[in-house]
Amino acid sequence: MHEPDPDLLIEFDDVLLRRGGNTLVGPVTWKVELDERWVVLGPNGAGKTSLLRIAAAELHPTSGSAYLLGERLGRVDINELRPRIGLSSSALANRVPSEEVVTDLVVSAGYAVLGRWRERYDDMDTDRAVEMLESLGAEHLAKRTYGTLSEGERKRVLIARALMTDPELLLLDEPAAGLDLGGREELVARLTDLAADPDAPATVLITHHVEEIPPGFTHALLLKEGEVVSQGLLDQVITAENLSEAFSQSISLDKVDGRFFARRTRVPGAHRRG
């Protein structure tokens, strides 16, 4: 009998997801603890989003066991589980109506699952929404409509929304995708603050780029073709050797002021012919 461990937010044991005869991800055995901040990194199609969707209780594994917040997927009412998990993803972003006012979008996170989307919200909820927007540097956007926001502003507003229900687990699927340099750096700075906040939930961030890893993140999981190349403490996983393996080419890696920078290793004379 499995005893739930209150410090374990994600506990995957040999989790495997198959669709149409293909293994999208797995087998993955993975544990995420209370105060950890994880980055999941890997090339396009490696299975990152599939893994995150299991962690968001959106998909059930084909085999293996998945516990979220101490509850076994498949045996728990996911409508009770989902509000305890904050999720920001492009799939969610695409569903937001452009005329939605930012404050309503953030406040409704606490109501959407209960089907009370258009109810009146009380002042406490609105205060919290503004507080969440503040923590992401987006309080000045509170009265704007979603459709008028830049890509970077949308990303920050959606993270504020994901935090609205005070979740125990925060899942961010490629929050920096589509951002320009300034937008990316602003987001990395906000996520750095979040990582350092002892009250912030355990976090899992998906990215393709080591440059997007906020300082203060503690762990990493590297995926390639659905399988784990390496996982564990960030500095032991994000190495030139592991990245070269995951991205199937020779990668050089630097770390400056807590940030990683990667590029393909230059082979002398490789540009010359013959």
Binding residues vs ligand ATP (CB under 6 A): 19-20, 22, 24, 42, 44-50, 208
Q: In what order do the strands lie in the sheet with 63-68?
A: 22-33, 8-19, 63-68, 71-72
Return d(Cα 123, Cα 70) in angstroms, integer.
33
Which residue in 122, 92, 98, 93 sits closest to 110, CA to CA? 122
Judged by beta carbon, residue 207 or residue 244, the one nearer ligand ATP is 207
Return d(Cα 229, Cα 236) in angstroms, integer.
12
**Smallest distance, ligand ATP to C-beta of residue 17, A:** 8
Judged by beta carbon, residue 33 or residue 227, the one nearer ligand ATP is 227
Return d(Cα 242, Cα 49) in angstroms, integer.
20
The answer to whether the beta carbons of residues 52 and 24 sit under 8 Å apart is: no
Judged by beta carbon, residue 18 or residue 144, the one nearer ligand ATP is 18
User: Collapsing DSSP states into helix, strand and coil, what is residue 42?
Assistant: coil
Which positions ≥6 away from 251 have C-beta within 8 Å? 240, 243, 244, 262, 263, 264, 265
Judged by beta carbon, residue 47 or residue 152, the one nearer ligand ATP is 47
**Smallest distance, ligand ATP to C-beta of residue 47, A:** 4
Which positions ≥6 away from 195 have C-beta within 8 Å? 37, 203, 214, 215, 216, 217, 218
Residues linked to residue 202 through DSSP beta bridges, in sequence order: 169
**Smallest distance, ligand ATP to C-beta of residue 239, A:** 20
Judged by beta carbon, residue 24 or residue 202, the one nearer ligand ATP is 24
**Smallest distance, ligand ATP to C-beta of residue 41, A:** 9
Measured in degrees and rounded to the nearest 5, phi and psi for residue 108 equal: -65, -10
**Smallest distance, ligand ATP to C-beta of residue 176, A:** 13
**Smallest distance, ligand ATP to C-beta of residue 64, A:** 16
Judged by beta carbon, residue 24 or residue 129, the one nearer ligand ATP is 24
- The full 3-state SS of 125-161, as one line of letters, equals HHHHHHHHHHHCCCHHHCCCEHHHCCHHHHHHHHHHH
**Smallest distance, ligand ATP to C-beta of residue 140, A:** 31
**Smallest distance, ligand ATP to C-beta of residue 21, A:** 9
Judged by beta carbon, residue 71 or residue 225, the one nearer ligand ATP is 225
Judged by beta carbon, residue 153 or residue 173, the one nearer ligand ATP is 173
| DSSP string of 183-207, one letter each residue | HHHHHHHHHHHHHH-TTSPEEEEEE
